[in-house]
Amino acid sequence: MPSPAHGVDHYENFPVASLLCPPRLRPAVKAIYHFARTADDLADEGQASAPERLAELDQFEADLAACALAQTPSSGRWPAVFDALAPVLREWDLPLQLLRDLLSAFKQDVTQSRYANQAQLLDYCRRSANPIGRLLLHLYQIHDETSLQQSDDICTALQLINFWQDLSVDLPRGRLYLPADLLARHGLSADQLLQPQPPAAAGALIDSALDWAEHLMLRGAPLARQVPGRAGWELRLVVQGGLRIAQRVRHLGPRVLQERPKLGRRDMALMLWRSLLMR
């Protein structure tokens, strides 16, 4: 699932045509993934100007509407995306608003690189991350409010952990997803985070950000017991993967402002073991 700086890396934690994804769902999951990945690339890749990116995303959204209506002609610019998505929309009756929410978040990426408070950032996650989880639950015909909220918690947590993991990548590009109110709480400014020697308070800032994300992840974790079959096991790995990355970020502390943590084979083995132990 959310380019390295912000986008759909966390989407890839979900079962994208993997062995754990039931074969009957793979075309739908792949279609959703390629829709999100293409839109994210329009928002973030290449050398286009901000107005050009927004115009591209507007056209992409118009083609989504044409795809949903079937008989309405599209621009024909993204046939690989919409030719695959059209039958999925009809067969599974996908909630179109969730796809529109994703596009809304990608457009926001073009115009906004800082967040005033945690509420603003959560609203962004509501549109950039949570729709993927809800779309996948829709495929599994899980619609109860408790499961949807748990899915939102997991997806938001994955998005936030991805942000904290990528601080060293985002900051030089002018992006900062640590909200201003959280920075102020620790007596820090965005400019201080760019200093060659991170300020001492940066460690407590990172810990606070991780506490927030881990709380959400653990609150949503029981969903893994509700999703049936192999997908439930994959969701356990998603949860444990997010928590393990958070641990790696916490271990780096202020150094995460200049160094991106990575997972190795030992981490993968630990994630698998912890997934098996989840109750």
In order along its 279 residues, the chain shows pLDDT tens digits of 333 233 334 444 443 345 567 889 989 999 999 999 999 999 998 899 999 999 999 999 999 999 999 867 789 999 999 999 999 999 999 999 999 999 999 999 999 999 999 999 999 999 999 999 999 999 999 999 999 999 999 999 999 999 999 999 999 999 999 999 999 999 999 999 999 998 989 999 999 999 999 999 999 999 998 888 888 888 998 999 999 999 999 999 999 999 999 888 898 898 889 888 886
Tokens of 209: 């950000």
Residue 231 is predicted with a pLDDT of: 82
Query: Does residue 196 form part of some domain?
Result: yes
Cβ(211)–Cβ(219) below 8 Å: no
- Give the pTM: 0.91
| Amino acid (1-letter code) at residue 52 | E
Query: Does residue 3 form part of some domain?
Result: no
Query: Does residue 6 form part of some domain?
Result: no
Question: In terms of domains, do 124 and 85 share one?
Answer: no
Question: In terms of domains, do 75 and 130 share one?
Answer: no
Question: In terms of domains, do 107 and 119 share one?
Answer: no
For the chain, what is the total number of helices (H) and then of strands (E)? 13, 0
| Amino acid (1-letter code) at residue 111 | T
Tokens of 10: 């966390």
Tokens of 127: 């549109």
Query: Does residue 8 form part of some domain?
Result: no
What CATH number should be reported for the domain holding residue 200? 1.10.600.10
Cβ(152)–Cβ(134) below 8 Å: yes
Residue 204 is predicted with a pLDDT of: 97
Query: Does residue 163 form part of some domain?
Result: yes
Query: Does residue 2 form part of some domain?
Result: no
Among the candidates 111, 141, 161, a domain finishes at 111
Question: In terms of domains, do 183 and 273 share one?
Answer: yes
Which among 121, 77, 126, 120 has a CA at the least distance from the CA of 100?
126
What is the rounded distance in angstroms from the CA atom of residue 81 to the CA atom of residue 66? 13
What is the rounded distance in angstroms from the CA atom of residue 202 to the CA atom of residue 167? 12
What is the rounded distance in angstroms from the CA atom of residue 238 to the CA atom of residue 262? 15
| CA distance to 30, 106, 187, 271, per residue, from 198 (Å) | 41, 30, 13, 30
Query: Does residue 10 form part of some domain?
Result: no
Question: In terms of domains, do 86 and 132 share one?
Answer: no
Query: Does residue 181 form part of some domain?
Result: yes
Full domain range(s) for residue 244: 113-279
Which among 179, 152, 171 has a CA at the least distance from the CA of 255?
171
Question: In terms of domains, do 260 and 129 share one?
Answer: yes
Cβ(130)–Cβ(2) below 8 Å: no
Question: In terms of domains, do 135 and 263 share one?
Answer: yes
Question: In terms of domains, do 183 and 213 share one?
Answer: yes
What is the rounded distance in angstroms from the CA atom of residue 239 to the CA atom of residue 1? 13
Question: In terms of domains, do 107 and 118 share one?
Answer: no
The backbone torsions φ and ψ at residue 37, rounded to the nearest 5 degrees and listed phi first, read -65, -45
Cβ(33)–Cβ(133) below 8 Å: no
Among the candidates 111, 139, 155, a domain finishes at 111
Question: In terms of domains, do 149 and 208 share one?
Answer: yes
Q: How many structural domains is the chain composed of? A: 2
Question: In terms of domains, do 120 and 249 share one?
Answer: yes
How would you label 255-278 residue by residue, b for 16+ Cβ within 10 Å and e otherwise? ebbbeebeeeeebeeebeebbeeb
Residue 5 is predicted with a pLDDT of: 31
Cβ(270)–Cβ(244) below 8 Å: yes
Question: In terms of domains, do 145 and 217 share one?
Answer: yes
Among the candidates 77, 111, 145, a domain finishes at 111
